[in-house]
Amino acid sequence: MTTVGTELLLDARDISKRYGAVVALRSASLAVRPGEVHALMGANGAGKSTLVKILSGGVRADGGTISVRGRPYGAHSPAEARRGGVVSVYQEPALIPDLDVRSNLRLTATAVEPVRHWLAELGLPDLDVSSMVRDLPLASLRVIDLARALAIEPDVLMLDEITAALPANLTERVLEVVARHRGTERSIIFISHRLIEIGVVCDRATVLREGATVGVVDVGAGSDDRIVRLMLGEISRRAPAVAAGPAGAGARTPETAPRLTARGLSAATRLRDVSFDLYPGEVLGLVALEGQGQDELFDILAGSERPAGGELLVDGAHVSFHHPADAIRAGLVYVPADRAEALLMQRSVRENIALPFSGPVGAWGLINVRGERRKVDAAVRTLQIDTRAAAEVRRLSGGNQQKVTIARWVAGGVRTMLCFDPTRGIDIGTKQQIYQLLRELAAAGAAVLLYTSELKEIQLACDRAIVVFNGRVVAEIPALEADEPTLLRAAYDLKPDEAIPELAVGETA
Amino acid sequence: MSAATEALGRRRVGVGEAVTSWIRRSPWIVALIGLLVVFFAITKMLVPNYGAPGVQALGISILPNALAAVAQAIVVISGGIDLSVGSMMALTSVVSAVLMKGQSDIFAVGVVLGTLALGVLLGAINGALIVATRVPDIVVTLAMSFVWAGVALLIIHTPGGGAAPWLMETIRGPLVSEWIPRGLVVLAVLVGAIWIPLRRSNLGLSLFAIGSNRLAAFRSGVPVDRMKIVSYALTGLFSSLAGLALTANTGNASPVPGPYTLESIAAIVLGGVSLAGGRGGVVGPILAVAVLYLIRIDLQFIGINPNFGTVVQGVILIGVVMLGSFLALRRVRP
Amino acid sequence: MTSVGTGTAERNPWLTRATWRRILRDQPLIPLSGLLIALVIVLQLVQPGIVTASWAGVIVRQAVPLAILAGCQTLAMLTGGIDLSVGAVASMAAFVMATLVNGQGPVVAVLAGLGVALAAGVVTGVGIGVFKVHPLIMTLGMSLVVLGLVAVYQLAMVLSGVVIPDPILWLGSETSFGFLPNSLFLFVPLSAVIVLGLRRSGYGRLLFAVGDNAIAARLAGVRIWQVLIVLYTLSALLAAIAGFLIAGLNKTASPALVESAVLPSVAAAVIGGTSILGGRGGFAGTIVGALILTLLTTLLTTLNMPEAMRQVLFGAIIVVVAAAYTRVTGEA
């Protein structure tokens, strides 16, 4: 059956995809052999999720070729992908909340018995298939979704962060089942941020960076280090762009009072116990792998959600936010990563920047056009926003859009700015401008909290960094020492002195 | 003592397990049945001789509303909303009455089948327009409600047409016992013959799926656009049944839509169908129609202006939705 | 897609579809006014000599109340809502006003009419803003409540007659200088306030903001419930004013006075370029939309088309226009 020509089970070559002006994939290739567990790796925005969507029929590629078992493959929908032998398990389970499990299986034409078998294998032997999906915890849903996909017995099974949201005992069973696929006729594409899992279950790893495949690594001794290096690209070895960065922290005297103090903040999910002080004049970096509680932390700080526990102090006084307006009045302004969450896409740059001015009922009357224009123009100049397409924000580039969300707060004067991954998916030049701006804000006495998924930003923009893992602060690192390997180790909750085990093996070998 | 009651309770579960699990699964319907019983009791108190004739009247009166509620329930469960139900009823009623007038019984059978096909077509046009134009359901069906009502008015200006005698007899009068109105039997048969098999089929599952979570449905392989059209076509089918019920009830047809669209929305909301889609059934809305009917006649019996019935209906509509969103908010907060 | 794409427009200024799309998207007033003029020309051709100053006055007098009701829809639709209670509220305000003239005098009567509308609007706004009831359901429910209450009130007030006070008659149905409808004396300042308010007031900005992106508005510190309560209250007050004008125009008032204008009011707003999804539109387009609908009605009447045909056409026009706007605005 297996001839030399069709050795590959799945062969995707030079896949490209653009969304409007944004290039999601430039040239991604992925070659999966039969019977291997193949890791797909890449930092945020590297194009993993786009590639997964293309393979699973969610979106169409603009260019490139895909074949499965030597036959050309192009799916318009997940149903077609399944007929072509490719099944995906997504991060949000593809289960209908208002149907019971059995009906969900029927909807996807999957027999119950094999699913029961796999549920037992995966550690949920007692699951009642007549329970409503809505009533089941997320972890169970992910396992059910996986069991269903296994029962379908596809040629290629794609698992997107399958162990996220799973408790340790289930994670172990899932990894064991995944590993069992090695050496069979079928293959698994395994997407995960957890290097340790990759080392345990995967045979090879394809690494994406900036929309292109940058390398394929045989998983084994020392491979973690190579994978990380490929993911990061050429680590910029240049000194922090702003020399004043660490100096700013040094200028802080012991008697400086913190602008913002969090004590034992917790949320219903993920965020367990986070405490930190944020001082005026500093940019405090926050580093975490995806889903460690940072989203919940920022929601609480921005006034969108109420904490389940802990306390928050602004300038030493207790605060309790019921609405983002409360946070704004306390001087805490929020720049989200997702521009779609912050911008009025059909409105002009001016209206977007001036939006917070109109919030309070007292400002509902006639607008002082001249005063508004002065403030807006100043903010536009500060951020060097390209206003050629200012009539509708959605026509701006991603970088310019992000500048508008920041300009909104700069125009009103910033005391404390909370930035959640503000440079996600924007070009390098704009990134530099944003770091520069954050430094200038801090120099002018503002306090900035910056969560970033790009580790090198810490040294470029921050004075010090705290690392959050599993809902807790696990490390505080001064910017000078916060190089990427150090931060990455801390983010995986490995102590600085203890090397990643596999990595150590690789070095000695 | 507590141990004893516990043991007793356990034995009882063993006996009526099916019933208790059904009650647990459908608290809303149980509550509606309770409400219905309460209103029957109130009616009986107000009018001591309320009995079989009253039930007969109820059977005939609620048939069009109940079918309209079923029509609305199907589309809302599938994640849409159809503001043209009343207009489709008027149009199908007019078409059936005009074609049936003075014709033979056999011909009338053909007219009934043709009217049902027309209903499916009207609904499918609504659905196809929504899918093709991507204009929100509300706008399309609001606009189409005028189109369908206008077409009905183009056919006849004033109430007219006729109904085959057998059609009228099908829904009028008692069956076997004077306590069983034929209208309710017809309703039960229609729901039993169309909705129950549908609900158990993959098609029905797909309708719930697209209403519950469109993305998950797409990823589960459901053809979401096609299902949307199917849901509107089914709504058209039940609207045409409701239109036929109007024709059969009065023996002619009025080209002016009655207040059925609004009532159908009130009924499905009261009947436990989630406006967000994916949840509910058709039994709840039918019970809700009966409750709304009893409220109206009770107000009449008390001697209160019947217009208060509209007020009560509006308050119920708003109140139930408020309650629903309030409960939903509570559920989100742990 | 990143650049605004002026290049293609310069090369081929009139013929590209992209140009037309851009005009329809950014300047809907231009094609709308063209349509309006075309309708006038068609009318003149169908019935030569019909287009005169006094005829224009009649058209405007009919269009003004519709434009005000469509203004309610415009404001609500800008936030992504809809107000289907305008018919019931307008009828209620006019009827309450007309029944109180005999006993209480015109001033109290008018204030009472505005007062009941205000109360209904506040209730609607609280339901939508605080209890998060979908605007469609809330306003449908409110129109049931209002209709029922007015019918009950009608029976209670069976003795007092319906009287439309002279100032309202003057505003609603009389003209100055032989052709200028007096309703314009109210409508012109009113629409100036609305148009200016939408563009230049903080509150106007918030209506667009809430409809464009409610999450973003909230994150920017906007308390959306406040915006919505004020919105539906304003909408009810505007509806009451339209109700007065219609009572003045028809020289009578009844509990079902304005019911038939609800869908045309939505139609006028949709035709005028306001998106039901929110965040896009304005009152100027709505006024033109109301004029177009009024002219269309006149044209159909002139052609001896039955009322039913008008309904069919209105419905079809809404779908076609909404689809066209969805197409041109759907792409970035």
Least confident interval from A140-144, A257-261, A505-509, B185-189: A505-509
Does any CB of chain B come closer than 8 Å to the CB of residue C256? no
Conformational region of residue C250, where left means phi above 0, alpha means psi within -120 to 50, and beta covers everything else: alpha
Report the percent of chain A where pLDDT is more than 90: 16
- Residue-level pLDDT at A253: 57
CA distance B52 to B19: 28
Task: Answer whether A365 sits within 8 Å of C202, measured CB to CB.
Answer: yes
C165: left (phi over 0), alpha (psi -120 to 50) or beta: beta
> Is residue C165 packed enough to be buried (19+ CB in 10 Å), middle (13-18) or exposed (0-12)?
buried
Summarize the confidence of residues A408-414 as an average pLDDT. Answer: 85
d(CA C109, CA C166): 12
Q: Give the pairing type, strands A464-469 and A472-478.
A: antiparallel
pLDDT of residue B76: 95
Taking an 8 Å cut-off on Cβ atoms, the answer to whether B318 and C136 are in contact is no
CB of C130 within 8 Å of a chain B CB? The answer is: no
- For residues A276-297, give the mean pLDDT: 86
Spatial separation of the C-alpha atoms in residues B186 and B189, rounded to whole Å: 5
Q: Which of A61-65, A245-249, B190-194, C192-196 is least confident?
A: A245-249
Q: What pLDDT is stored for residue A425 in this prediction? A: 67
Mean pLDDT of A268-297: 85
Q: Assess whether pLDDT exceeds 70 at residue A277.
A: yes
Distance to chain C for B249, nearest Cα, Å: 25
Pick from A96, A105, A148 the residue to mutate for testing the B interface (most B CBs within 10 Å): A96
B189 pLDDT more than 50: yes
pLDDT at A470: 81
Q: Chain B contacts of A103, Cβ < 8 Å? A: 205, 208
Contact flag C308-B154 (C-beta cutoff 8 Å): yes
Please tell me if residue A243 touches chain C, with a CB cutoff of 8 Å.
no
CA distance A493 to B28: 49
Inspect the interface and report whether the beta carbons of B222 and A107 lie closer than 8 Å: yes
Report pLDDT for A501: 40
Backbone angles phi, psi at C136, to 5 degrees: -60, -50
Average pLDDT, chain A: 82
What is the predicted pLDDT for the residue at B330?
A: 52
Judged against a pLDDT cut of 80, whether residue A6 lies above it is answered with: no
Would the CB atoms of B317 and C137 count as touching at under 8 Å? yes
User: Residue C217: pLDDT above 80?
Assistant: yes
Where does B194-238 show beta strands of DSSP type E? Answer: none
The band of A145, judged by pLDDT with boundaries at 50, 70 and 90, is very high
pLDDT range class, residue A411, cuts 50, 70, 90? confident
Q: Exposed (0-12), middle (13-18) or buried (19+): which is C177, by Cβ within 10 Å?
A: exposed
At C95 the pLDDT is 92
Q: Comparing A390-394, B115-119, C103-107, C222-226, which segment has the lowest mean pLDDT?
A: A390-394
A203: which residues sit within 8 A by CB, 6+ positions away? A33, A36, A37, A38, A182, A218, A219
Q: In this complex, which of B202, B223, B278 lies closest to A98 when CB atoms are compared? A: B278
Which chains contact B through at least 3 pairs of Cβ atoms less than 8 Å apart?
A: A, C
DSSP 8-class letter at A308: S
- DSSP letters spanning A238-305: SPPS-THHHHHHHT--TTPPPSEEEEEEE-SSS--BEEEEE-TT-EEEEE--TTSSHHHHHHHHTTSS
Looking at residue C178, the DSSP 8-state letter turns out to be T
Q: What domains are defined for chain B?
A: 56-315 (1.10.3470)
Contact B220/A104, CB-based, under 8 Å? yes
CA–CA separation, A109 and B221 (whole Å):
10
Size of interface B-C (CB pairs under 8 A): 145
- Across the interface, whether the CB atoms of B219 and A78 are under 8 A apart is answered yes
> What phi and psi values does residue B19 have, to the nearest 5 degrees?
-65, -50
The residue count for chain B: 334
Spell out a b/e string for C300-329, using b for 16 or more CB atoms within 10 Å of the CB, else e. Answer: beeeeeeebbbbbbbbebbbebbbbbbebb
Please state the rounded mean pLDDT for residues B48-77.
91
pLDDT for the residue C14 = 53
Contacts of A96 in chain B (CB under 8 A): 205, 208-209, 212-213, 216-217, 220, 278
* Helices B52-77 + B260-270 axis angle, to 10: 80
pLDDT value, residue A252: 56
Residue among B110, B109, B105, B125 at smallest CA distance from B228 = B125
DSSP letter string, A72-135? E---SSHHHHHHTTEEEE-SS----TTSBHHHHHHHTT--HHHHHHHHHHTT-TT--TTSBGGG
- Which residue is listed with tokens 């895909």? A66
Q: Which residues of C touch A391 (CB under 8 A)?
A: 26
Other C-beta atoms within 10 Å of C16: how many?
14
Q: Which of C144, C267, C270 sits opposite B317 (nearest CB)?
A: C144
State residue B62's pLDDT score. Answer: 92
Please tell me which chains touch A, using 3 or more CB pairs under 8 Å as the contact test.
Answer: B, C
| Beta sheet of A472-478, edge-to-edge order | A332-335, A416-420, A447-451, A283-287, A464-469, A472-478
Q: Is the dihedral of CA C245, C247, C248, C250 positive or negative?
A: positive
Query: C182 and C171 in contact (C-beta within 8 Å)?
Result: yes
Distance CA A103, CA C197 (A): 53
Q: Is the Cβ of A247 closer than 8 Å to some Cβ of chain C?
A: no
pLDDT digits (tens, 9 = 90+) for B133-184: 988 898 899 899 989 999 999 999 889 888 888 888 888 878 888 888 888 9
Measure the CA angle with vertex A493, ends A487 and A494; round to 5°: 80
Classify each residue of A149-158 as buried b or exposed e, where b means 16 or more C-beta atoms within 10 Å of its C-beta. bbbbebbbbb
Mutate to test the interface with A, among B202, B213, B219 (most CBs of A within 10 A): B219
Q: How confident is the model at residue C66 (pLDDT cuts 50, 70, 90)?
A: very high
A365 in contact with chain C, both atoms CB, cutoff 8 A? yes
Task: Tell which residue, A481, A468, A462, has the closest CA to residue A279.
Answer: A462
Rounded Cα distance, A200 and A210, in Å: 26
- Tokens representing A8? 């590959």
B310:C148 CB<8 A: yes
Per-residue pLDDT at B324: 66
Between CA B323 and CA B326 the distance in angstroms is 5
pLDDT at position A200: 85
Quote the CA–CA distance of B316 and B266 in Å, as a whole number: 7
pLDDT score recorded for residue C67: 95
Report in angstroms the alpha-carbon separations of A244 from A249, A252, A283, A443. 9, 13, 11, 9
Per-residue confidence (pLDDT) for residue A245, from 0 to 100 = 44
- The pLDDT assigned to A161 comes to 82
Q: For A85-94, B83-92, C221-230, which range has the lowest pLDDT when averaged over its residues?
A: A85-94
- Of A29, A464, A16, nearest in space to A281 by CA: A464
Residue with tokens 């559920």: B331
The predicted structure's pLDDT at residue A229: 77
- Token reading at A375: 């403030």
pLDDT, one tens digit per residue, over A438-493 is 888 888 888 999 998 777 788 888 888 898 888 888 888 888 888 777 787 787 77
Arithmetic mean of pLDDT, B110-134 = 95
Question: What SS3 state is found at A211?
Answer: coil
Structural Rg of chain C based on CA atoms: 21
* Residue A92 CB neighbours (<10 A): 14
What strands lie across the sheet with A274-278, from one edge to the other?
A274-278, A260-266, A309-314, A317-319
Interface test with A, best of C207, C219, C331 (most A CBs within 10 A): C219
- Collect all residues from A whose CB is shorter than 8 A from any CB in B: 56, 58, 77-79, 82, 88, 90, 92-99, 103-104, 106-109, 268
CB pairs under 8 A between A and C: 105
Q: What is the pTM of this model?
A: 0.81
Query: Which chain A residues are within 8 Å of C217, Cβ to Cβ?
Result: 344, 355
Q: DSSP secondary-structure letter at B193?
A: I
| pLDDT of amino acid A495 | 59
Taking only the tens place, the pLDDT of each residue in A185-220 is 889 999 877 777 888 889 999 988 888 898 898 988
- Listed by start position, the domains of chain C span 56-178+187-258+275-281
In this complex, is the C-beta atom of B331 within 8 Å of any C-beta atom belonging to chain A?
no
**Selected residues 73-132 of chain B with any CB under 8 Å from a CB in chain C:** 81, 129, 132
Residue type present at position A15? I
What per-residue confidence (pLDDT) applies to A493? 72
Rounded average pLDDT over B110-139: 94
Residue B182's H or E segment, with its range, is helix B182-190
Give me the mean pLDDT over the A298-305 stretch. 90
From the candidates B322, B325, B327, B332, which should be mutated to test the interface with C, based on the most C CB atoms within 10 A? B322
Residue A19 has pLDDT above 80, yes or no: no
* CB within 8 Å: A98 and B208: yes
Instruction: Check if C133 contacts B (Cβ < 8 Å).
Output: yes
B310 touches chain C (CB under 8 A): yes
Q: Do A96 and B278 touch (CB under 8 A)?
A: yes
Tell me the average pLDDT across A405-418: 88
Average pLDDT, stretch A232-237? 53
Structure confidence at residue A254 as a pLDDT band (50, 70, 90): low
Nearest 5°: CA angle at B209, between B205 and B215?
A: 150
Q: Check pLDDT > 60 for residue A503.
A: no
pLDDT at A1: 40
pLDDT(C44) > 80: yes
Average the pLDDT over C182-200 and give the result.
92
Mean pLDDT along residues A26-46: 86
> Could you tell me the pLDDT band of residue A246, with boundaries at 50, 70 and 90?
very low
Residue of C nearest to B155 (CA): C308
Go through B292-328 and write b for each residue having 16 or more CB atoms within 10 A of its CB, e for each that does not: bbbbbbbbeeeeebebbbbbbbbbbbbbbbbebbeee
Residue owning tokens 């070729």? A65
Is the CB of A344 less than 8 angstroms away from the CB of C329? no
A91: pLDDT confidence band, cut at 50, 70 and 90? Answer: confident
Task: Tell me whether residues B278 and A103 touch, CB distance under 8 A.
Answer: no
Residues C90, C254: contact at Cβ < 8 Å?
A: no
User: Residue B70's pLDDT band (boundaries 50, 70, 90)?
Assistant: very high
pLDDT greater at residue A164 or residue B277: B277
Which of B85, B199, B91 lies closest to B141 in space, CA to CA?
B85
Question: What's the confidence (pLDDT) of residue C330?
Answer: 63
Indicate whether A300 pLDDT > 50.
yes
CA distance B309 to chain C (A): 7
Which range among A18-22, A171-175, B46-50, C107-111 has the greatest average pLDDT?
C107-111
Q: Smallest Cα–Cα separation from A259: which of A448, A463, A464, A413?
A: A448
